[in-house]
């Protein structure tokens, strides 16, 4: 059974705060092992990567066979059934159409003092995308990472995907092909992250690494951060559904389960203004948990971290949502737009009863790489901006320097940075002579 909370109860604040503070993930401390792997890859390059791949993935490769050839990719991708191919292409088209709109504008203007100011956005030159192997080898994640990178203009996009015992998910290769990925390597784990960050004889280094992974991959990404950029370190997935009594309890139950089935550490929370409806949803979840394929995982998640919260009204729901700062937020209420205006901390909003989060996971268009663990308070989902950087631009004219240079000189002196001040002063003196 999940927790049932009611905002009218005397102990509500205590219990809600405890719910917010729940530790859901107990990552093993693999940092020392990962540090050793990274050092090995830096020192020995391909040889280290090949040895580690033989050991962990039971796969003997060479520097030549580490990378899928275009013909291999074509051949394996061709085995994907037509329905899945069509679905991936529809998803890629929609994700592309959404992310193209995120392309930022360059700006350049002249201010009243005559200074030209602005900025210019450029794409990261090379990016690497980590794709997990095995059961979590999701083609949808390939699209969600690779399409924005290519929209941003990344020239060289490399994927690493471990293929334990040589097994690869053909849909992953098809998604890579559809997204325009340039290189795909049969490697994984911390050694793949190290190879992308530092390069090896046969893998050129990249500037940015994104994509999900296990504890080893997460630890490796943390360690190479600074040498390269990384995306967020994602925690277990979460959904918050705010629903009134005008919903089918079974629909809401399935939405809650679509997070719970990801991971025993996932969290699904329902907030409703109708206590009886909340009970009906919990009953519907119980019924679904009898037959769902992933009922062991989903059941554990719901039992340990699930919650049904009854509130007085939707304003209260909005205030609680802002404290939860959920990764995914469904608003299944009569006027979801109005309710959404009252909430600022959420990774992604799904409005109305016809927008199950699963649509957003695959084909909605917005990205499904989203901030977890309450980090929507300060961060955003993946976007084209994650594959771009902004260079600021300033150009002074003699008149502009005369107008604002003395203030710079004054501040430099006050901060005891003499050369800063002099670099302005010598130019002002020359202008004043001239």
According to CB under 8 A, which residues from 124 to 143 bind its own copies? 124-125, 135, 138-140
Question: Can you read off the two tokens belonging to residue 120?
Answer: 């210019």
For the question of residue 328 being annotated catalytic, the response is yes
Q: What are phi and psi of 202, to 5 degrees?
A: -110, -5
By C-alpha distance, which of 198, 210, 207, 204 is closest to 228? 207
How far apart, in whole angstroms, are the C-alpha atoms of residue 204 and residue 202?
7
99 has binding-site annotation: no
Minimum CB–partner distance for residue 297 and its own copies (Å): 10
How far apart, in whole angstroms, are the C-alpha atoms of residue 243 and residue 259?
16
3-state secondary structure at position 212: coil
**Closest CB to its own copies among residues 64, 109:** 109
27 has binding-site annotation: no
Q: Does 199 bind its own copies (CB under 8 A)?
A: no
How far apart, in whole angstroms, are the C-alpha atoms of residue 259 and residue 178?
27
Q: Which of residues 244-273 bind its own copies (CB under 8 A)?
A: 248, 250-251, 254-255, 257-258, 260-262
By C-alpha distance, which of 63, 57, 203, 62 is closest to 128? 203
Work out which of 3, 6, 214, 345 binds its own copies, going by CB under 8 A: 345
191 has binding-site annotation: yes
Work out which of 19, 73, 76, 91 binds its own copies, going by CB under 8 A: 91
Tell me which stretch binds its own copies (CB under 8 A): 59-67, 86-94, 144-152, 196-204: 86-94
**Closest CB to its own copies among residues 26, 71:** 26
268 has binding-site annotation: no
414 has binding-site annotation: no
Minimum CB–partner distance for residue 255 and its own copies (Å): 5
Q: How many residues does the chain have?
A: 434
CB 173 within 8 A of CB 194: no
Question: Can you read off the two tokens belonging to residue 308?
Answer: 């049904």
Minimum CB–partner distance for residue 125 and its own copies (Å): 7
**Closest CB to its own copies among residues 65, 397:** 397
Tell me which stretch binds its own copies (CB under 8 A): 57-65, 190-198, 305-313, 404-412: 404-412
Q: Which long-range contacts (CB under 8 A, 24 or more apart) does 75-79 make?
A: 76/168, 76/170, 76/173, 77/170, 77/173, 77/174, 77/177, 79/170
Catalytic entry in 328, 330, 357, 368: 328
Binning the chain into helix, strand and coil, the percentages to the nearest 5 are 50, 15, 35
Q: Which of residues 346-385 bind its own copies (CB under 8 A)?
A: 346-367, 370-371, 373, 375-381, 383, 385
Catalytic entry in 238, 261, 264, 327: 327
**Closest CB to its own copies among residues 153, 180:** 153
**Closest CB to its own copies among residues 64, 392:** 392
3 has binding-site annotation: no
Could you identify the residue written with the tokens 């290769």? 173
Q: Which of residues 151-180 bind its own copies (CB under 8 A)?
A: 171
By C-alpha distance, which of 298, 295, 296, 344 is closest to 323? 344
Q: Which of residues 271-290 bind its own copies (CB under 8 A)?
A: 288
Minimum CB–partner distance for residue 234 and its own copies (Å): 11
Tell me which stretch binds its own copies (CB under 8 A): 36-44, 159-167, 178-186, 223-231: 223-231
For the question of residue 327 being annotated catalytic, the response is yes
**Closest CB to its own copies among residues 216, 387:** 387
Q: What is the DSSP string of 99-167?
A: HHTTPPPPEEEE-TTS-EEEEEEEE-SEEEEE---GGG--HHHHHHHHHHHHHHT-SEEEEE---GGG-
**Closest CB to its own copies among residues 245, 394:** 394
3-state secondary structure at position 43: helix
CB 13 within 8 A of CB 318: no
420 has binding-site annotation: yes
How far apart, in whole angstroms, are the C-alpha atoms of residue 432 and residue 321?
61
Q: Which of residues 286-315 bind its own copies (CB under 8 A)?
A: 288, 292-294, 298
Q: Which of residues 97-116 bind its own copies (CB under 8 A)?
A: 97-98, 101-102, 107, 109, 111, 115-116
Minimum CB–partner distance for residue 65 and its own copies (Å): 27
Q: What are phi and psi of 158, to 5 degrees?
A: -110, 140
How far apart, in whole angstroms, are the C-alpha atoms of residue 391 and residue 46?
35
Residues comprising the binding site?
130, 191, 214, 237, 259, 262, 328, 361, 415, 420
Residues comprising the binding site for substrate?
237, 259, 262, 328, 361, 415, 420
Residues comprising the binding site for Zn(2+)?
259, 262, 361, 420
* Residues labelled catalytic: 327-328
Residues comprising the binding site for NAD(+)?
130, 191, 214
């Amino acid at each position: 059974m999940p927790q049932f909370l009611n905002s009218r109860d005397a102990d509500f604040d205590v219990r809600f705060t405890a719910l917010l503070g729940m530790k859901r993930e107990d990552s093993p401390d693999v940092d020392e092992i990962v540090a050793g792997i990274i050092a090995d890859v830096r020192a020995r390059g391909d040889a280290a990567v090949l040895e580690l791949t033989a050991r962990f993935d039971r796969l003997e490769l060479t520097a030549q066979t580490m990378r899928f050839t275009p013909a291999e990719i074509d051949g394996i991708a061709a085995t994907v059934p037509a329905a899945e191919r069509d679905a991936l292409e529809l998803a890629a088209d929609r994700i592309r159409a959404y992310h193209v709109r995120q392309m930022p504008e360059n700006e350049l203007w002249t201010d009243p003092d005559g200074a030209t100011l602005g900025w210019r956005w450029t794409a990261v030159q090379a990016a690497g995308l980590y794709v997990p192997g095995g059961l979590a080898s999701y083609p949808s994640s390939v699209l969600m990472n690779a399409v924005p990178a290519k929209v941003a203009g990344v020239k060289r996009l490399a994927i690493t995907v471990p293929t334990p015992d040589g097994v690869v998910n053909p849909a992953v290769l098809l998604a890579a092909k559809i997204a325009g990925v340039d290189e795909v390597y049969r490697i994984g784990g911390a050694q793949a992250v190290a190879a992308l960050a530092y390069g090896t004889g046969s893998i050129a280094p990249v500037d940015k690494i994104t994509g999900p992974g296990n504890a080893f991959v997460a630890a490796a990404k943390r360690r190479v951060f600074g040498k390269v950029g990384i995306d967020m370190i994602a925690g277990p997935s979460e959904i918050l559904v705010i629903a009134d009594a005008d919903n089918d309890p079974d629909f809401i139950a399935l939405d809650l389960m679509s997070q719970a089935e990801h991971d025993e550490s996932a969290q699904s929370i329902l907030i409703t203004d109708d206590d009886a409806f909340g009970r009906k949803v919990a009953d519907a979840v119980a019924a679904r948990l009898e037959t769902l394929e992933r009922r062991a995982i989903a059941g554990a998640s719901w039992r340990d971290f699930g919650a049904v919260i009854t509130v007085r009204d939707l304003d209260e729901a909005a205030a609680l949502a802002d404290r939860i700062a959920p990764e995914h937020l469904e608003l299944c209420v009569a006027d979801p737009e109005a309710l959404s205006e009252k909430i600022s901390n959420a990774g992604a909003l799904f409005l109305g009863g016809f927008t199950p989060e699963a649509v957003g996971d695959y084909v909605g268009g917005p990205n499904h790489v989203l901030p977890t663990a309450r980090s929507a308070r300060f961060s955003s989902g993946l976007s084209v901006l994650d594959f771009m950087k902004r260079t600021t631009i300033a150009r002074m004219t003699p008149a502009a320097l005369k107008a604002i240079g003395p203030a710079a000189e004054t501040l430099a002196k006050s901060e005891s940075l003499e050369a800063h001040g002099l670099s302005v002063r010598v130019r002002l003196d020359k202008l004043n002579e001239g």
